[in-house]
């Protein structure tokens, strides 16, 4: 087995690890409100979301082969690697990809530990931007498009990050106001089931869209690494085993449930009711599906958070915890640069040591920090037993639950 093959294996494992963290980090985007209002029991909600993420992962791979083209210049327009990165058997490109993935994973794990919803896509792009700048210089990043369309970091990342939560919030606020006006005076027994099924349906659409949009990012990264190392030559298709493994990774992560983030979105922003939950989930689904149809890349985290805040604003007398929202926005603002710094540092470490040894050290750092953050999370565990505890009182775990993930 050659050094390049071993590095490739590390890249594939790390990419699947990112896909896994993407799943449990973003479960809240679809299911937090359904869990908070009791429309679905916590374990049922994450199981449903996992199945739909699994199905969604197979629905579309249209942009998978060129996924990194949005922000970094390591691929040609047809998805093939840049020739200058293949001189050493592809190890230069593999190190950039490995370091970028590690940067994204570390940020995902840190924000999960803190219970802060943040964009997994932005973490991935940030990690790749940092490793590309470290390895190729500032010219290795596509900062702007050519003027004919929204592209690059500005068009694909920054503008959607600003616009999506605002648009989703406005739609959810209007929807919530309309729902309360229309159902004013109607007995709860006539509306309860309708709101419940409305929540479940819209949350399911968000889960399906998340699987479709996010799983193919990892598929594309793995396929790029396979092509760079000479293990795959078809630049038009993704290996079946890559599709299956990525779909399973994101589904497994979703099923384990990022309970800390589910708690923050479901209980931390507003005391959400069923009408608000339906409005928020419907808004999220509408914005995500419309953006996919129009070709815009949106963060499901930003959309979901904006929708939940909007549902709080739209309900007369509702209490919105703006301090919690402020912490989320702060996390959003530093996601890209923080992941970029992590990606750059990982590249420098790998390049300093060089070759297989450098890749192994980078992978070992990831494993060590991931283990540390998991151990830290056990000090104040959050799982399906206490995810719906009152926000103003610290969540307490009523009993030990073997194998539960926070």
**The predicted structure's pLDDT at residue 320:** 84
Residues of the chain with pLDDT under 70: 62-67, 145-151, 187-190, 292-297, 392-406
What pLDDT sits at residue 404?
45
Question: According to the model, what pLDDT value does residue 74 have?
Answer: 77
Cα gap 44→35, rounded to integer Å: 9
Q: What does the pLDDT read at residue 286?
A: 86
Counting every residue, how long is the chain?
Answer: 406
Decide: 99 and 350 in contact? Cβ < 8 Å: yes
Question: pLDDT tens digits, residue range 273-305?
Answer: 888 888 888 888 888 877 766 666 678 888 999
pLDDT value, residue 132: 92
Q: Are 47 and 256 in contact (CB under 8 A)?
A: no
Q: Are 131 and 347 in contact (CB under 8 A)?
A: yes
Check: CB of residue 300 under 8 Å from CB of residue 332.
no
Q: What is the pLDDT of residue 396?
A: 46
Neighbours of 120 (CB within 10 A): 31
The pLDDT score that the predictor gives to residue 126 is 93
C-alpha dist (Å) from residue 327 to 265, 320, 324, 332: 12, 13, 5, 9
pTM given for the model: 0.89
Cα radius of gyration (the chain): 21
- Nearest by Cα to 94 from 335, 364, 366, 362: 362
């Amino acid at each position: 087995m050659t050094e390049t093959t071993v590095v490739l294996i590390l890249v594939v494992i790390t990419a699947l690890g990112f896909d896994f963290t993407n799943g449990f980090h973003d479960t809240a985007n679809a299911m937090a409100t359904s869990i908070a209002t009791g429309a679905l029991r916590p374990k049922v909600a994450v199981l449903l979301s996992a199945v739909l993420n699994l199905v969604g992962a197979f629905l579309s791979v249209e942009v998978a082969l060129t996924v990194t083209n949005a922000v970094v210049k390591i691929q040609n327009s047809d998805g093939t690697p840049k020739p200058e990165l293949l001189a050493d058997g592809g190890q230069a490109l593999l190190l950039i990809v490995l370091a970028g993935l590690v940067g994204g994973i570390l940020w995902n794990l840190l924000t999960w530990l803190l219970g802060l919803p943040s964009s997994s896509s932005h973490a991935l792009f940030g990690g790749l931007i940092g490793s590309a700048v470290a390895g190729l210089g500032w010219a290795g990043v596509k900062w702007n498009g050519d003027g004919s369309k929204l592209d690059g970091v500005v068009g694909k990342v920054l503008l959607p990050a600003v616009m999506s939560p605002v648009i989703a919030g406005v739609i959810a606020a209007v929807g919530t106001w309309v729902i309360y006006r229309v159902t004013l005076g109607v007995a709860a027994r006539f509306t309860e089931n309708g709101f419940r099924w409305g929540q479940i349906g819209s949350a399911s659409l968000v889960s399906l869209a998340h699987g479709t949009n996010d799983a193919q990012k990892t598929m594309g990264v793995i396929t790029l690494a396979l092509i760079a190392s000479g293990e795959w030559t078809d630049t038009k298709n993704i290996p079946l085993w890559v599709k299956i493994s990525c779909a399973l990774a994101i589904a497994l992560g979703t099923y384990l449930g990022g309970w800390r983030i589910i708690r923050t979105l479901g209980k931390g922003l507003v005391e959400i009711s069923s009408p608000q939950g339906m409005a928020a989930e419907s808004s999220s689904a509408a914005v995500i599906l419309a953006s996919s149809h129009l070709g815009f890349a949106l963060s499901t985290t930003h959309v979901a958070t904006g929708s939940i805040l909007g549902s709080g604003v739209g309900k007369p007398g509702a209490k919105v915890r703006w301090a919690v929202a402020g912490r989320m926005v702060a996390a959003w603002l530093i996601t890209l640069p923080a992941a970029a710094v992590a990606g750059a540092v990982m590249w420098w470490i790998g390049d300093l040591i060089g070759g297989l040894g450098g890749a192994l050290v980078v992978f070992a750092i990831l494993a060590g920090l991931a283990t540390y953050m998991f151990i830290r999370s056990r000090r104040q565990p959050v799982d399906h037993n206490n995810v719906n505890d009152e926000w103003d009182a610290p969540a307490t775990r009523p009993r030990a639950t073997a194998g539960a993930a926070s």
